[in-house]
């Protein structure tokens, strides 16, 4: 069978007894850090391997090596029993390895066909008709209709993800790596994605699936590989495993015992035997006392856009001692709403009040002084990578640490040591912030925001890309902030997260608030209907 036959969906058969993809002794160092320690791992044809581990465990490094984005210091990659040299993504694609990351690399104004031509065509004249036919063939293989003439910027997030997968399927893709593929998808799109993965594996493809959503891993994976501190600590069939057992293997302890309440367990994806189809707490979250003062008031907040407003006449109140969740499909105004609230983008119309003070026309620094705390979705963009941990911890409050015109190094160091202990940051004050894992970097940002005792914290995608332990830590901090009397506006695309910890959930679609769901009625399905513009089903 030729590669062309395989690309059209034929069987992909390595020699008898040989895995479709095999990693032997893969080792990678970054200075003194051993990111991958002699890892042996394989995936058979027709198999879904879930690759799991805490942040910094070595998952990303391993998959980057497989896809040619990084070179191993030692070890060998075999595809269908044959050793291959993978020095670049082009080498990986030629060997039949495709990868889809969380950050899509599509050109918005171009059509689906044009994007795929851009990705896979050599320089010179291209046959547009033939390229369109290849898109349709790849779409048929995926099992989901995709319009080859659709303009990418007009597609939903789920549709854009399918275009990214089509890019991998244009060639002789035999191994598909999916990095957190459900992070920005609504439930209906997750189901469609899983159906496509099952269709591809039925054709003989191997899939490596990276996720922190353990209930999805149990649903999809045939086998589970778990990395811890660069070493493969488990490689076993998924059948019979539940999320709690997987979490315990990931962190090296009985993680389920460390999660003390069901709502928190739900949020981090542990199976605590809750009834019903949706992962909701057995008892509703406490309803905020409406007599409490408003921590955050938004009236008619609007950000103009072309042809429609990016944020459209949004009004919302978050009271002291309340967590309000904001759900929505990526690209429906959440990022812009957070920018308006934090003062990085001026509003076209409307007002923002923090603790009763009008901050609408204030800049970022003045809003912080007025009691606004912020945790933006761009984690690395919220720190200065060239500075140390201690320097980043005081960036938003420099005046407190000045002695005359200069910063007091002694006071900065003492402040950092205190926060490092209080927030369990695994770093020294002088460590470069860029050297921290995603979870520890998020702890720095949480410490910086919470230490100032904000009236309201605006937290956007606070656990995206974090492991189970780091997620649990973030949730505990948000709940402690609520219990201390602060308001929290939690913007998240993780519906399990919102259902697990929010007191009420509002839905943003097309820049407008289209509905509100009480905790007792909140299911992934009900929220998904609102997020995709459908009518809200009445509560049973």
- In this structure, of 124-133, 326-335, 429-438, 508-517, the range with the lowest mean pLDDT score is 124-133
H-only helix segments in 106-186: 112-120, 128-142, 157-169
Give residue 376's pLDDT. 86
Residue 27: which pLDDT band, with cuts at 50, 70 and 90? Answer: very high
> What was the pLDDT predicted at 532?
72
Pairwise CA distance, residues 230 & 34, whole Å = 6
Q: Does the pLDDT of residue 57 top 70, yes or no?
A: yes
Whole-number pLDDT of residue 488: 97
pLDDT confidence of residue 141 = 84
Would you tell me how many other CB atoms lie within 10 Å of the CB of residue 330? 17
3-class secondary structure, 10 = coil
Mean per-residue pLDDT for 139-147?
85
Is cis: bond before 247, omega within 30 of 0? no
pLDDT of residue 414: 94
Mean pLDDT computed over 274-282 = 32
Report the pLDDT averaged over residues 303-322: 92
pLDDT digits (tens, 9 = 90+) for 218-236: 999 999 999 988 899 999 9
Q: Which residues contact 293 (CB under 8 A, 6 or more apart)?
A: 319, 320, 355, 356
Give, as one character, the DSSP assignment of residue 538. P
Residue percentage of the chain with pLDDT more than 70: 86
Cα distance between residue 61 and residue 67, in whole Å: 10
Confidence of residue 266 (pLDDT cuts 50, 70, 90): very low
% helix / strand / coil in the chain, to the nearest 5? 35, 25, 40
pLDDT band at 205 (very low <50, low <70, confident <90, very high): very high
What is the percent of the chain with per-residue pLDDT over 90, rounded to a whole number? 42
pLDDT at residue 411 greater than cutoff 90: yes
**Quick one: average pLDDT of 373-378?**
88
For 471-495, how does the pLDDT look when each residue is reduced to its tens digit (9 = 90+)? 888 899 999 999 999 999 999 988 8
pLDDT bucket at 439, cuts 50 / 70 / 90: confident
Which residues lie across from 77 on neighbouring strands? 23, 84
Instruction: Say whether pLDDT at 265 is over 50.
Output: no
pLDDT digits (tens, 9 = 90+) for 115-126: 888 876 554 466
Listed range (54-58, 288-292, 347-351, 387-391) with the worst mean pLDDT: 288-292
Given a cut of 50, whether residue 8 has pLDDT beyond it is no
Residue 271: pLDDT over 70: no
User: Is 401 in contact with 422 (CB distance < 8 Å)?
Assistant: no
CB contact at 8 A, 152 and 111: yes
Report pTM: 0.67
Could you report the per-residue pLDDT of 335-347, keeping only the tens digit for each? Answer: 899 999 999 999 9
Distance CA 135, CA 149 (A): 10
Residue 337, SS3?
Answer: helix
Domains in the chain with CATH codes:
3-258 (3.40.50.300), 294-531 (3.40.50.300)
- pLDDT of 269 > 70? The answer is no
Mean pLDDT of 47-70: 89
If phi > 0 it is left, if psi is from -120 to 50 it is alpha, else beta; for residue 408 that is beta
- Residue 260 scores a pLDDT above 70: no
Q: How far is CA 490 from CA 208, 340, 470, 507, in A?
A: 31, 15, 17, 12
Nearest to residue 478, comparing CAs of 446, 515, 455, 452? 446
């Amino acid at each position: 069978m030729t590669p062309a036959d395989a690309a059209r969906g034929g069987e992909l058969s390595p020699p008898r007894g040989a895995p479709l993809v095999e990693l032997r002794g893969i080792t990678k160092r970054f200075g003194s850090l051993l990111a991958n320690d002699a890892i042996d791992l394989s995936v058979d044809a027709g198999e879904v391997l879930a690759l799991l581990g805490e942040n910094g465990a070595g998952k990303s490094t391993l998959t980057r090596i497989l896809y040619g984005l990084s070179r191993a210091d030692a070890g060998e990659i075999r595809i269908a029993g044959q050793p291959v040299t993978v020095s670049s993504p082009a080498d990986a694609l030629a060997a039949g390895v495709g990868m889809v990351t969380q950050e899509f690399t599509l050109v918005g104004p171009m059509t689906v066909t044009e994007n795929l031509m851009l990705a896979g065509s050599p320089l010179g004249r291209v046959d547009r008709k033939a390229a369109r036919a290849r898109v349709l063939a790849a779409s048929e293989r995926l099992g989901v209709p995709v319009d080859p003439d659709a303009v990418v910027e007009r597609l939903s997030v789920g549709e854009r993800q399918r275009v990214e997968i089509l890019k991998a399927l244009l060639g002789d893709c035999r191994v598909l790596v999916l990095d957190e593929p459900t992070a920005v998808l609504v439930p209906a799109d997750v189901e469609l994605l899983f159906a496509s993965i099952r269709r591809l594996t039925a054709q003989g493809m191997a899939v490596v699936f990276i996720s922190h959503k353990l209930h999805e891993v149990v649903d999809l994976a045939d086998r589970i590989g778990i990395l811890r501190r660069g070493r493969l600590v488990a490689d076993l069939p998924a059948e019979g495993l539940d999320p709690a057992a997987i979490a315990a293997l990931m962190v090296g302890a009985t993680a389920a015992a460390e999660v003390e309440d069901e709502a928190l367990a739900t949020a981090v994806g542990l199976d605590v035997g809750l009834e019903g189809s949706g992962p909701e707490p057995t008892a509703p979250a406490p309803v905020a006392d409406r007599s409490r003062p408003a921590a955050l008031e938004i009236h008619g907040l609007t950000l103009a856009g072309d042809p429609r407003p990016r944020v459209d006449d949004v009004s919302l109140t978050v009271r002291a001692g309340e967590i309000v969740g904001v759900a929505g499909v990526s690209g429906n105004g959440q990022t812009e709403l957070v920018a308006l609230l934090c003062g990085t983008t001026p509003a076209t119309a409307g007002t923002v009040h923090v603790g009763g003070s009008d901050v609408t026309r204030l800049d970022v620094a003045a809003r912080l002084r007025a009691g606004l705390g912020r945790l933006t979705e761009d984690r690395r963009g919220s720190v200065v990578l060239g500075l140390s941990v201690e320097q980043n911890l005081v960036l938003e409050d420099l005046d407190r640490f000045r002695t005359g015109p200069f910063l007091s190094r002694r006071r900065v160091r003492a402040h950092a040591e205190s926060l490092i202990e209080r927030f369990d940051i695994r770093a020294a004050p002088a460590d470069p912030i860029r050297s921290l894992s995603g979870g520890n970097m998020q702890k720095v940002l949480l410490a910086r925001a919470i230490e100032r005792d904000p009236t309201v914290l605006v937290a956007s995608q606070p656990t995206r890309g974090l492991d189970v332990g780091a997620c649990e830590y973030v949730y505990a901090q948000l709940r402690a902030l609520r219990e201390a009397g602060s308001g929290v506006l939690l913007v998240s695309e993780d519906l399990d997260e919102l259902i697990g910890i929010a007191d009420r959930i509002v839905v943003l679609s097309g820049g407008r608030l289209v509905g509100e769901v009480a905790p007792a009625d909140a299911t992934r399905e009900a929220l998904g209907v609102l997020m995709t513009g459908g009518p809200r089903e009445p509560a049973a």
